[in-house]
Structure 1
Amino acid sequence: MRFKTDLKNIRTFSKLTAALNSLEKIAWMRLDDDTVRLTVIPATGSQVWASLSVDLIFENYQLQSNEANNTINLELPLQPLQRALKSASGSHHANLRLTKRDGAPMLSMTIHTTTKDTSSGPGGGLPSRSGGATRHNDDAWAADDSEIFHPESLELQMKRDREKVITQDIPVRVLHPETVETIMQPRVREADVHIQMPPLLQLKAISDRFTKLALTAASSTSSATADKTPKLELQANMHGSLRLRLHTDALDITSTWNDLTHPDLDPNELTMPIEEHPSTLFKQAGPEKWATVRVDGRDWSRVLSVGRLEGRVIGCFADDHALILYVYVPHHVDGGIGSDVVTYYVSSFSP
């Protein structure tokens, strides 16, 4: 079993790891010849499936195992990985390899950074010239080329590039393929509404404000309810509108986005005629027909941290059942722009 690679897109990898780490501390990483898959399934809260092409985050990729497509499955702690990627963010080169330390499997990240040596050190400064120096005949100096010195600037002498190498070990567990096969992405019925979401960090700011207001109102009225996380209501229709609502005994506030777009469905990927698709029926019912999901305020805030990836996000609403967020991460490929997808599954609470 062998895995070794250089890190290509550290910034994107770091942002994704931070978003996943906000939901759960452990992820399952599945590596094969073409794809990197990251799965997070907390005991409670939203679940994530990320499917990334190898060339989004890796280069000089070497993978070998006895499984089909050279598959390797790892249980990966996200916090140490996030710290290592943070250390690598300013590096000019970093690589990752599967190794062992005292018989235990490790992902070892080696980071190469360049620092400026601003101290001259012993004998590092320019030689001073004594006032009592002996004067030599110019012709005698010119006769020996070995005694001709080309002056350097003080800046070049004092600032010298030095390479610093840091190695960080991330403990992992190598998982049996049969164990990983039990981790299944949930099946969801066809969406009633599919809509392009507004910028997630904007939505997060408003959602966090609603949650804070609800907690403040609850703490002032009843200490018994102050510790309960508020439930937020998300609604979308097939006429370009998204609505975020907080409704409690003390508060009823709403924020609405309009003129959002709806991606076209591919009839070849549907299990039914497009005329019979739930989203078509919702659209025909008019702008007052809303699909609704109810989410935990704190969990929803952690989900929205994926907005750091700055990709296009499609929300698929299954009314009173679940919200699926498809986060498309753009990257350059030969001949154009490709995109990888991070999928969030957010189940709806009962009203």
Structure 2
Amino acid sequence: MKFRAVMIDAGPMREFTNIVSTISKLSKECVARIADDQLYFIVSDENSGPAPPILWCEIPHAMFFSEYQMVGLDDDHKDIYLEFTSTNLARSLITLKNAKSLKMKLTKKQCPCLTLEIEVPSSTSQQTRQVTHDIPVKVIPRKLWSDFQEPKIPKPDISIQLPTLKQLRTTIDRMRTMAAEVMLWASAEGRLTLQIKTDTSKVSTRFKDLRVEAFEGPIEHSDSETETQANEDKSNICYCRVDAKKFSMFLSADQISHNRTVCSIVHKRLVVLCLQTEENVKLQCFITGIVY
């Protein structure tokens, strides 16, 4: 197996750093899938053992790398799967803020490593210096690749564009101090409501006039969850209860320059959060619904 990639533009290097930094906040461990057309970062739920990914990030190499070469196991299994500690990669990329270039390659030292060679300008002369980071990785065997495939999800009942992530993050972080779970309501009229309940209080925040990209309703409601939505047409609402911490962690992606964020809800079962950038990076977070 071989892998070598080069970045020389400041914009892509900055964006790549922000993406890796965001992923490092979501999970300690990460898997990189190196394919001939894209670089993937995959995060699984740390507490559930082997399970479908909860985060899936696609980075088209043509938009980021001036050189990109890789050779997989064989002609039938062309990809490379590497497991590593995400914070190690994030810390190594801090140097990219003022760098002239980045070279990434798979090397064999005392153990397999993802080696970063970063060329940075010298503060005392016109010459440059090279900073090298060796990040230990574990090569994932072919028999385990099926654990790191993109989740197949049911067709969402509603897809609605999110308000600014910074605004959402402020709201959710305040709610998290009071409750561990948050209810997400989305209506066909473009309203998104976040709600928490405690033994002594109920707190809701509503965002209006959001763009609805798809609605597969009507959704018929027959339980008490719809009591708080008495002023809306209940047949046009989808909802899901999720872990507030996981929802908040996705919102840390606000540091990534993006042009579109969408929340898709499979009624009471699943929330899919998707961020896309102008460079065609797609970051998806899959949060399973909490059902009592």
TM-score range, shorter chain: 0.7 to 0.9
Residue 182 of structure 2, aligned match among 208, 232, 237: 232
Give the match's secondary structure for 2:105: strand
Find out whether 1:113 has 2:120 as its counterpart. yes
User: Following the alignment from structure 1 to structure 2, what is the Cα–Cα distance between the partners of residues 113 and 209?
Assistant: 40
User: Following the alignment from structure 2 to structure 1, what is the Cα–Cα distance between the partners of residues 197 and 65?
Assistant: 45
Residue 194 of structure 2, aligned match among 232, 244, 248: 244
Letter of the aligned partner of 1:91 in structure 2?
Answer: A
Partner of 1:94: 102
- Unaligned runs of 5+ residues in structure 2 are 221-231
Find out whether 1:183 has 2:148 as its counterpart. yes
Residue 61 of structure 1: how far off its partner (Å): 0.8
Q: Deviations over 1:227-269 (max 9, x none)?
A: xx521111111111100112111221111111100225xxxxx
Seen in structure 2, the aligned counterparts of structure 1 residues 86 and 195 have a Cα distance that, compared at 3 Å, is same
Give the match's secondary structure for 1:263: strand
Partner of 2:33: 30
Seen in structure 2, the aligned counterparts of structure 1 residues 310 and 93 have a Cα distance that, compared at 3 Å, is closer
Q: Deviations over 1:202-238 (max 9, x none)?
A: 10111101222x1xxxxxxxxxxxxxx5211111111
Partner of 1:156: none
Partner of 1:324: 272
Q: TM-score, normalised by structure 1?
A: 0.72
User: Following the alignment from structure 1 to structure 2, what is the Cα–Cα distance between the partners of residues 296 and 182?
Assistant: 23
Partners of 1:194 and 1:279 within 8 A in 2? no
Partner of 1:347: 288
Partner of 1:198: 163
Seen in structure 2, the aligned counterparts of structure 1 residues 319 and 51 have a Cα distance that, compared at 3 Å, is same
Letter of the aligned partner of 2:255 in structure 1?
Answer: R
Partner of 2:228: none
Find out whether 1:47 has 2:54 as its counterpart. yes
Find out whether 1:16 has 2:19 as its counterpart. yes
Partner of 1:314: 262
Over alpha carbons, which structure has the higher Rg?
Answer: 1
Residue 309 of structure 1: how far off its partner (Å): 1.6
Residue 173 of structure 1: how far off its partner (Å): 1.3
Q: Deviations over 1:12-39 (max 9, x none)?
A: 2222212222221111111121111111
Letter of the aligned partner of 2:191 in structure 1?
Answer: S
Letter of the aligned partner of 2:290 in structure 1?
Answer: F
User: Following the alignment from structure 1 to structure 2, what is the Cα–Cα distance between the partners of residues 56 and 80?
Assistant: 24
Partner of 2:128: 163
Residue 177 of structure 1: how far off its partner (Å): 2.3
Residue 258 of structure 1, aligned match among 208, 211, 224: 208
Letter of the aligned partner of 2:37 in structure 1?
Answer: D
- Unaligned runs of 5+ residues in structure 1 are 118-159, 215-228, 265-277, 332-338
Residue 299 of structure 1: how far off its partner (Å): 2.2
- CA RMSD after TM alignment: 2.1
Seen in structure 2, the aligned counterparts of structure 1 residues 58 and 76 have a Cα distance that, compared at 3 Å, is farther
Give the match's secondary structure for 2:151: coil
Residue 82 of structure 1, aligned match among 87, 90, 98: 90
Letter of the aligned partner of 1:61 in structure 2?
Answer: Y
Give the match's secondary structure for 1:232: strand
Find out whether 1:173 has 2:130 as its counterpart. no
User: Following the alignment from structure 1 to structure 2, what is the Cα–Cα distance between the partners of residues 189 and 235?
Assistant: 18
Q: Deviations over 1:114-166 (max 9, x none)?
A: 1232xxxxxxxxxxxxxxxxxxxxxxxxxxxxxxxxxxxxxxxxxx3231211
Partners of 1:23 and 1:42 within 8 A in 2? no
Give the match's secondary structure for 1:310: coil
Q: TM-score, normalised by structure 2?
A: 0.86
Give the match's secondary structure for 1:298: helix
Seen in structure 2, the aligned counterparts of structure 1 residues 344 and 63 have a Cα distance that, compared at 3 Å, is same
Letter of the aligned partner of 1:298 in structure 2?
Answer: K
Seen in structure 2, the aligned counterparts of structure 1 residues 111 and 235 have a Cα distance that, compared at 3 Å, is same
Aligned length: 271
Find out whether 1:5 has 2:5 as its counterpart. yes
User: Following the alignment from structure 2 to structure 1, what is the Cα–Cα distance between the partners of residues 151 and 127?
Assistant: 51
User: Following the alignment from structure 2 to structure 1, what is the Cα–Cα distance between the partners of residues 62 and 233?
Assistant: 42
User: Following the alignment from structure 1 to structure 2, what is the Cα–Cα distance between the partners of residues 230 and 73?
Assistant: 34
User: Following the alignment from structure 1 to structure 2, what is the Cα–Cα distance between the partners of residues 110 and 72?
Assistant: 20
Partners of 1:197 and 1:314 within 8 A in 2? yes
User: Following the alignment from structure 2 to structure 1, what is the Cα–Cα distance between the partners of residues 57 and 74?
Assistant: 21
Partner of 1:210: 175
Seen in structure 2, the aligned counterparts of structure 1 residues 11 and 252 have a Cα distance that, compared at 3 Å, is same
Find out whether 1:293 has 2:240 as its counterpart. yes
Residue 66 of structure 1: how far off its partner (Å): 3.6
Partners of 2:186 and 2:239 within 8 A in 1? yes
Task: List 4+ stretches of structure 1 deviating above 3 A.
Answer: 184-187, 286-289
